[in-house]
A and B are shown apart, each in its own frame.
Chain A
Amino acid sequence: SAVISQKPSRDICQRGTSLTIQCQVDSQVTMMFWYRQQPGQSLTLIATANQGSEATYESGFVIDKFPISRPNLTFSTLTVSNMSPEDSSIYLCSVDRQLLWGYTFGSGTRLTVV
């Protein structure tokens, strides 16, 4: 099962700034997924990132706000741009478990925008 390292684990940012979240996997994976978990809520898929192609965004999420990079098969970044307090959430990346069923999630990045 893949092991995910996500950085930073938490951050407090000023409104109007941007934060880039990194997701490093210890094995090569085809697809990586980015989720958002707003306070007290469940997880919502933001986008799917494939290496070598543009990320595919879910309804309600746009590339200008959440640009994603996927430079290789073990790494991806999600940027939260022009942040507002409404962006305060936990952001998580996920990959499939490689020869096992299900998906592995990172421990998340807890973002607070002030």
Chain B
Amino acid sequence: DAKTTQPNSMESNEEEPVHLPCNHSTISGTDYIHWYRQLPSQGPEYVIHGLTSNVNNRMASLAIAEDRKSSTLILHRATLRDAAVYYCIETGGTSYGKLTFGQGTILTVHP
């Protein structure tokens, strides 16, 4: 079973920021938090990952709580192309390669 919990769905307007939350209250000290997204009719796509510090890349930012029990994926300006299912996943250590996908958050972006 997935060890993370996410809201089933969220909505946003185009060009507005989106904050996608994830709870991972049982995360171990060595597990990373990964985010993937799956656009319609495509395989999942890596978005970002982090361990303890906040992270930024060209796609998004990841804010990790100080206790590491939750994190938030931030899309700074949503576009229609960002409409997808977003998955938050704990991974690392002996679970190399074994991505355990939960149900994810369906993000709808309105024009």
Give the secondary structure class of B's interface. loop
Roughly how many angstroms separate A73 CA and B94 CA in the complex, as a whole number?
Answer: 22
- Residue among A41, A48, A103 with max Cβ neighbours from chain B (10 Å): A103
Number of interface residues of A (CB under 8 A): 21
User: A48 contacts B97, CB within 8 Å?
Assistant: yes
User: B46 contacts A33, CB within 8 Å?
Assistant: no
Q: Identify the stretch in B15-23, B63-71, B73-81, B99-107 within 8 Å (CB) of chain A at 4 or more residues.
A: B99-107
Q: Identify the stretch in A11-19, A63-71, A79-87, A94-102 within 8 Å (CB) of chain B at 4 or more residues.
A: A94-102
Which of B's residues lie within 8 Å of A, judged by CB?
A: 2, 34, 36, 41-46, 49, 87, 96-104
Between-chain CB contacts (< 8 Å), 27 pairs: A31-B97, A33-B98, A41-B103, A42-B2, A42-B87, A42-B102, A42-B104, A43-B99, A43-B101, A44-B101, A45-B98, A45-B99, A58-B98, A92-B43, A92-B44, A94-B43, A94-B97, A101-B49, A102-B46, A102-B49, A103-B46, A103-B99, A105-B43, A105-B45, A107-B41, A108-B42, A108-B43
